[in-house]
Amino acid sequence: MTDIAPETLVDGRYRVLTRIGSGGMADVFVAEDQQLGRKVALKLLHRRFAEDQEFVERFRREASAAAGLQHQNVVGVYDRGRWDDTYYIAMEYLPGRSLKQVIRADAPLDPLRAIDLTIQILKAARCGHRRGIIHRDLKPHNVIVDAEDRAKVTDFGIARAGASDMTETGSIMGTAQYLSPEQAQGRSVSAQSDLYAVGVILYEMLTGHVPFEAETAVSIALKHVSEPPAPPSSRNPHVPPELESIVLWALEKDAARRPADADQFIDALQEVRDHLTGGDGGQRTASFAPPPPLPPVVDDQRTGTLPPVGYDADDGLAAWPPDEAPPRRRRRWPWLVALLVLALAGAGVGAYLLLKPKDRTVPDVVGQDVANASNALRDQGFRVTVKRVSSPKPQDQVLSEAPSAGTKAKKGSTVAMTVSGGPGQGSVPPVAGLTQRSAERRISKAGFQPVVVPRPSTQYAKGNAIATSPTEGNRIDRGKTVRLFVSTGPAMVSVPDVTSLTVDAAVTQLRGAGFVDRQVQQESTTAQPGTVIAESPKAGTSLPKGSTVTLTVAKAARPTVPNLVGKTQDEATNALLALGLVPQVASKTVTDQTQDGQVLSQSPPPGTKRSKGGRVRLVIGRVSAIPPPPTTTTP
């Protein structure tokens, strides 16, 4: 991306205002021409390409090619040059939206509006084709539409002018959704490649969708090569049949079977437009005037109208006396005129026989898909009209044709096809909770074909309907298949072996398999606390999904309080600390010197289980240092 700050002055002339777009080769800015005081679109080649002579030459060629295209539907090129180690082109700036934005906001477009925009695009393409320039990247993104629906085509940056020695022939340069089959196959392009792209644009304007969509550009390209496009009316039933026929004509896989040039494409669209608006859009055929009538031949003897006396019809001289008729000469000019007229008449008849449309046999297309049928009829030189009617037959299947198959008809005449629009649409009914039989009956009554698909379920009892696909409420063509999911009961799942795992890992594995866990604690002197030492049911047991598995989790064993009575305070304290217990010492005065410093009693008593950290009370004997008072004897 070319980083240029606003107010930057390019080549001492163009003051940059803002960026308006970025492409694979260049960035585009709105700039103000300081010399002429007008806004321009300034395209600057990415600097990383500026040292690549092939890219530079292609960029330079764009300016040269586009500068020669002076047309009301082509964006004008004003200037080109080099600046700051890169190259630029100054072009006409057009406020407005791209046709892609128009389609996103307004599609499907009214057929008349779509026709008008398409004719303008074709006129721009025709301007280039007449100068040997093929655009090769016609798409809605490269068409600017103003507020009055005037369209201009831009970006001839990948056009190939004439027999240029640039070796881009066969490279897939355009956007995949608008590529012609020959571009997708890496073959050379022609004017028909642009007409194919225009057909895709018209399709998208009429339906809001491109003919072919996929996850990757390669998949889209393969569809352009091998798959027939769905008729536009299958996505928008309001597309007129005659307009649909033109769209499919432009989208022929074989370039030779598309319109011969932009003019033929424009004429066909204009004829449909005239028909839709009530103008003179009827088919025009060549006509021949009958030969002129033979002039009358004057018979002088029969009518008695002889030249006056003394006047010779041939010489204009008096040669015989008035009372003697001159010898009568045969007059040649009437015969010459008659022969000439007959020759002209014969020539006219011969020309008529040579030029009159030849009769063709109407092929049998009943039962075929409308796209294939249209192609077969056009191959024989017929025009095609399509009328759609409701029918239980599959959508787009030809039901009848007029004239009928086998009939002789003139080349260029029209064959009218009646095509199935399908049986109409219905709403998928709700079936959840019904028995399988009731659900199938309800789907059939709605006009669809139920297909049962078994599926485990913990919510619905075995044999009851779960749901449908498409889901309830969706409107689809009657006669279509509706999948009915029927419960087989809860799914059976094998209990995984989670013993020796930490309790967290065991719980994660069980829940991932669809089980519910329950935990119980158990003391263990051998297992690491917090690990699973047992599970119930055992590993490998098959249970319904959602069943409970009980985990026995190890916890540290509680120490047993030892017998500490008679031990010294140090011995008792050390013994308790070794077991993880906390000694709590109290003193008691004793007189027996042997009990001094010994444990007299303990609480809790020996053999009691105590948690680690629990307290054990020790009573320690202490001999008092103060002698006891003397004993008083009573007399």
Confidence band, pLDDT 50/70/90 cuts, at residue 162: very low
Same fold yes or no, 359-420 and 569-622? yes
Cβ–Cβ < 8 Å for 513, 540:
no
The correct CATH number of 97-162+173-277 out of 3.30.450.20, 1.10.510.10, 3.40.50.10580, 1.10.10.10 is 1.10.510.10
Q: CB neighbours of 307 closer than 8 A, spacing ≥ 6?
A: 313
Residue 327, pLDDT > 80, answer no
Residue 633, pLDDT > 80, answer no
Between 467 and 371, the higher pLDDT residue: 467
Between 330 and 448, the higher pLDDT residue: 448
Condensed to tens digits (0 to 9), the pLDDT of residues 423-461 reads 777 899 999 999 999 999 999 999 899 999 998 888 899
Per-residue confidence (pLDDT) for residue 169, from 0 to 100: 35
Residue 325, pLDDT > 60, answer no
Total Cβ atoms within 10 A of residue 390: 11
Per-residue confidence (pLDDT) for residue 255, from 0 to 100: 93
Condensed to tens digits (0 to 9), the pLDDT of residues 404-414 reads 999 999 988 99
Confidence band, pLDDT 50/70/90 cuts, at residue 285: very low
The correct CATH number of 9-92 out of 1.10.10.10, 3.10.129.10, 3.30.200.20, 3.40.50.10240 is 3.30.200.20
Averaged pLDDT for residues 9-35: 87
Given 3-state DSSP classes, what are the helix, strand and coil percentages for the chain, each rounded to the nearest 5?
30, 25, 45
Concatenating the DSSP letter of every residue in 103-123 gives HHHHPSPPHHHHHHHHHHHHH
Residue 240, pLDDT > 80, answer yes
Tokens 């799942």 belong to residue:
493
Total Cβ atoms within 10 A of residue 197: 27
Task: Categorise residue 316: left if φ over 0, alpha if ψ from -120 to 50, beta otherwise.
Answer: left
Q: CA–CA distance from 13 to each of 66, 91, 164, 307 (Å)?
A: 21, 14, 32, 93
**Is CATH 3.30.10.20 the right assignment for the domain spanning 359-420?**
yes
Per-residue confidence (pLDDT) for residue 46, from 0 to 100: 81
Residue of 137, 155, 369, 396 with catalytic role: 137
Per-residue confidence (pLDDT) for residue 584, from 0 to 100: 94
Per-residue confidence (pLDDT) for residue 323, from 0 to 100: 36
Per-residue confidence (pLDDT) for residue 228, from 0 to 100: 93
Query: What pTM did the predictor assign?
Result: 0.46
Averaged pLDDT for residues 224-235: 93
Residue 11, pLDDT > 70, answer yes
Condensed to tens digits (0 to 9), the pLDDT of residues 331-357 reads 444 444 444 445 555 555 454 444 455
Q: Where are the domains of the chain?
A: 9-92, 97-162+173-277, 359-420, 425-487, 492-556, 569-622
Per-residue confidence (pLDDT) for residue 634, from 0 to 100: 55
Averaged pLDDT for residues 48-52: 74
The correct CATH number of 492-556 out of 3.30.10.20, 1.10.3430.10, 3.40.50.720, 3.90.1150.10 is 3.30.10.20
Averaged pLDDT for residues 539-553: 91
Q: What angle do CA 155, 157, 163 make, to 5 degrees?
A: 130
Q: What angle do CA 418, 422, 423 make, to 5 degrees?
A: 120
For the question of residue 137 being annotated catalytic, the response is yes
**Is CATH 3.20.20.70 the right assignment for the domain spanning 569-622?**
no
Per-residue confidence (pLDDT) for residue 627, from 0 to 100: 60
CA-based nearest residue to 87, from 41, 54, 52, 47:
47
Per-residue confidence (pLDDT) for residue 386, from 0 to 100: 86
Between 351 and 241, the higher pLDDT residue: 241
Between 289 and 522, the higher pLDDT residue: 522
Condensed to tens digits (0 to 9), the pLDDT of residues 85-103 reads 888 889 889 888 899 999 9
Q: Which amino acid is at 499?
A: T
Confidence band, pLDDT 50/70/90 cuts, at residue 154: confident
Per-residue confidence (pLDDT) for residue 293, from 0 to 100: 34
Mean pLDDT estimate for the chain: 81
Choose the weakest-confidence range: 141-145, 170-174, 398-402. Answer: 170-174
Residue 577, pLDDT > 50, answer yes
CATH architecture group of domain 425-487 = 2-Layer Sandwich (3.30)
Condensed to tens digits (0 to 9), the pLDDT of residues 54-74 reads 777 766 776 676 777 889 999
Residue 315, pLDDT > 60, answer no
Residue 299, pLDDT > 80, answer no
Residue 259, pLDDT > 90, answer yes
Residue 619, pLDDT > 80, answer yes
Strand partners, 426: 476
Cβ–Cβ < 8 Å for 376, 408:
no
Confidence band, pLDDT 50/70/90 cuts, at residue 287: very low
DSSP letter, residue 255: G
CA-based nearest residue to 400, from 409, 410, 411, 391:
391
Per-residue confidence (pLDDT) for residue 536, from 0 to 100: 94
Averaged pLDDT for residues 215-243: 92
